[in-house]
Structure 1
Amino acid sequence: METSKTFPSVETPDEAYQKTFKNCDELLPTLPQTKGWWSVQLFQYHGFWIHIFGIRGSMLIHDHFKPRSTDIVVATSPKCGTTWLRALVFSIINRASFDFSDHPLRKANPQDLVPFFESIIHKDGSTSFVDGIPSPRLLSTHLPYSLFPTRMTDDTSACRFVYICRDPKDVFVSKWHFANKLRPKELPPLSLEETFDLFCKGVSHYGPFWDHVLGYWKASVESPKKVLFLKYEEVKKEPLGCVRKVAEFLGVPFTPEEENKEIVEQIVKLCSFESMSNQVVNKLDKRYQQRPISNSDFFRKGEVGDWVNHLSPQMAEKLDQITEEKLQDTGFNFH
């Protein structure tokens, strides 16, 4: 008598997605947690303070994301020039597709043109949206380098990361201003002193800040063809050279003809703080339920050294001291 064979059931994509969600929900109560700078709770996940959406996004990327050789990830710690870098990379990659007088950056905020990886990975309750984005996929993230799967970070993977960092004193001041814009009106404003203490202890979104920077710095030293490491201050000082460097790194260097047409100069001008902050779309102060941040919130000053207007000499000295200790023997410095 022939016995019937049983076959293991095949998990559907939706079931696999829900399984990751369940794993995340079960993990969260086991993690150390603290109150975030605005209303979002932060959890300590693999050494970093991250909100639930970031942890869920990271787990979904690990479990479901299929990298392509053409993928480009624009990576930053928050308030290090994310909006600017998104605009620059988008303009470099798509420079042959649009006329500068009628460019998408004149009609849309860079965050709408370069989707946020941790959020977009589960848009509309599915991970399939990312799979449908045509190549080259341009994605933005605040996730630390160590939280990406090895299939994205090892040398056999051709996907590339462009990272920008910034003087921690300016980062802190920008983050403090930003947090107070996002805090619900029923909550009192965050004091500079209270927030400064949290930042110094590493308790901030995607912090500790220094660990975030060093993760990408070390990756850029070990795999310079995979990770390009930029400093905000250098991009401000030499924007033309930095734009050329990014294009070279991404395998799309500017041709002599493009140089003659001053395409590099046009990109720098289009993506400048003055240009972007004055676009009508970026003056909008409208907040949405799914995104409690208005376009105008992304543009404050964009200056180097604005921290002197906010931090006491003692505060600046303390941050410099922490930075020196964190960066000791790493070969990296912010200047």
Structure 2
Amino acid sequence: MEPLETTTKNPKMEELEDYVQHLEISLPKELWMGAFPISLYEGFWCSPKIFKSTILFQTQFEAHDTDILLASLPKTGSTWLRSLLFAIVNRNIFSDFTKHPLHTQNSHELVVHMEFPPSNNTNGTQPDLTKLSSPRLLATHIPYLSLPKSIKTSKTRIVYVCRNPFDTFISSWHFYHKLSLNTSSELDHNTIEEYFGQFCEGKFPYGPYEDHLLGYWKESIQNPNKVLFMEYEGLKQDPKAYVKKLAEFVGYPFSQLEQEKGIIDDIIKLCSFENLKKMKVNNSGDAYGIFENKALFRKGEVGDWTNYLTPSMTKMFDQNFHEKFKGTGFNSKYYQPSF
């Protein structure tokens, strides 16, 4: 199928609707966790519900040199990173952390996700960016290769966060169960092997895992001033070092005086998983009209997957990962495939 014409700044909505309808018919389809339709679009699995906003993001978005984009797969720590990023960039505006916007707004409201229109956007297209001050803080789940051209050619800075694939799956398994129609039922542990097999095949939202990670990692090696590659486990292990690195990368380094005053520690405390989880705003309301805010916070632990996955199950993923990353030079101290 021919791609949507990208030279027109404001394509007719009828043209877009027609294009999306043809996409839904023509693309390969799967059912994630037995309940969520996904289609293979540009090499990654995408929900048909966000085709329109995704395509508009790809074809119509105009990046600013000052933009900061947080990229990730779902359930890899992006809610935490949104909070840290907002607090770091806006620390001089919101210096009183007891009255910080994070106490009254979920981080998904403060850092705009480009594929998910806000719940009050009735036409289901793109979020309104006109009222955002510079730097605009944005987020996406789509792979690097599918990002808008203007992001790649501008000075937009990209922060990518990844997480151990097994913890990513377990967190996703719990999250999507809460989104299913039968939310009151207990997780069926008899289905975990089937769904993990699907995850290993890359057939989950925005997967495959390996392709997503590799795309951003390669760009971080080739253009380290453009892409910062971060690991969730490293942030958990040494938050101070990672927060300092994040602040420097996005152009808001901490001064010596700020460090002496403990501003870094204050931001880490404000944005800690435990603190965010107990905030009233994160225990009520919903994000994008799709899921409850509290669904974003479960455990946030490293290594919880060992309570669910067996060695024989993880071996299948390890083999796939090894094949795709062989010869790339990629190495992680937090995920070591076993054979």
Q: Same fold (TM over 0.5)?
A: yes
Specify the code of the residue in structure 2 equivalent to 1:163. Y
Go from structure 1 to structure 2 and tell me whether the alpha carbon gap of 1:330 and 1:187 turns closer, same or farther (over 3 Å shift).
farther
Aligned counterpart for 1:170 among listed residues 167, 174, 191: 167
Specify the code of the residue in structure 1 equivalent to 2:325. L
Q: Give the corresponding residue for 1:296.
A: 294
Cα distance, 1:299 vs structure 2: 0.7
Range with greater deviation from structure 2 (126-135 or 317-326): 126-135
Specify the code of the residue in structure 2 equivalent to 1:100. F
Deviations 1:91-112 (A, max 9, x none): 1111111111111112222112
Q: How does 1:95-244 map to 2 (within 5 A)?
A: 95-98=91-94, 99-120=96-117, 123-125=121-123, 127=126, 129-154=128-153, 157-185=154-182, 191-244=191-244
| 2:29 is the counterpart of 1:33 | yes
Verify the 8 A CA contact 1:24 1:56 in the aligned structure 2. yes
Q: How far, CA to CA, are the matches of 1:112 and 1:186 in structure 2? A: 24
Aligned counterpart for 2:315 among listed residues 317, 320, 330: 317
Task: Please give the secondary structure, in 1, of the residue aligned with 2:252.
Answer: coil
What TM-score comes out, normalization by structure 1 length? 0.89
Q: How far, CA to CA, are the matches of 1:24 and 1:39 in structure 2? A: 21
Q: How far, CA to CA, are the matches of 1:115 and 1:18 in structure 2? A: 26
Aligned counterpart for 1:58 among listed residues 40, 54, 60: 54
Q: How far, CA to CA, are the matches of 2:265 and 2:183 in structure 1? A: 45
Q: Give the corresponding residue for 1:249.
A: 249
Verify the 8 A CA contact 1:327 1:333 in the aligned structure 2. no
Q: Give the corresponding residue for 1:72.
A: 68
Specify the code of the residue in structure 2 equivalent to 1:30. S
User: Is the radius of gyration larger for structure 1 or structure 2?
Assistant: 1
Specify the code of the residue in structure 2 equivalent to 1:231. E
Cα distance, 1:199 vs structure 2: 0.4
Structure 2: segments with no counterpart, 5+ residues: 1-7, 334-339
Cα distance, 1:127 vs structure 2: 4.6
Structure 1: segments with no counterpart, 5+ residues: 1-10
Deviations 1:184-225 (A, max 9, x none): 118985621111110011100100111111011011111111
Q: Give the corresponding residue for 1:8.
A: none
Go from structure 1 to structure 2 and tell me whether the alpha carbon gap of 1:36 and 1:281 turns closer, same or farther (over 3 Å shift).
same
Cα distance, 1:227 vs structure 2: 0.7
Q: Percent identity?
A: 40
Task: Please give the secondary structure, in 1, of the residue aligned with 2:46.
Answer: strand
Verify the 8 A CA contact 2:112 2:127 in the aligned structure 1. no
Deviations 1:11-57 (A, max 9, x none): 894x5344333322222211111113363311101111111244322
Residue-pair matches, total: 320
Q: How does 1:8-27 map to 2 (within 5 A)?
A: 13=10, 16-27=12-23
